[in-house]
Amino acid sequence: MTATPVLELADVQKAFGSVIALRSGTISVDAGSIHALVGENGAGKSTLVKIVAG
């Protein structure tokens, strides 16, 4: 049985002028699952979360 994601982003991009803050951000979250968003400073973690939060 394949679960339907409650959140799915594919190839999200964000730039501030000429500075690319996020390139090809992709995530899929199923109901009841636990995820961690990890990466180096400047990888776009906060930017991705801010896009999801609006």
Give the pLDDT confidence score for residue 41 in this predicted structure.
93
Give the DSSP letter of residue 33.
Answer: -
What pLDDT band is residue 1 in, cutting at 50, 70 and 90?
Answer: low
What pLDDT band is residue 25 in, cutting at 50, 70 and 90?
Answer: confident
What is this structure's pTM?
0.75
What pLDDT band is residue 11 in, cutting at 50, 70 and 90?
Answer: very high
What pLDDT band is residue 53 in, cutting at 50, 70 and 90?
Answer: very high
Q: What is the pLDDT of residues 27-43, one digit of tens each?
A: 999 999 999 999 999 88
Closest CA to 15 of 50, 40, 47: 47
**Residue 14: Cβ-neighbour burial (10 angstroms; 0-12, 13-18, 19+):** middle
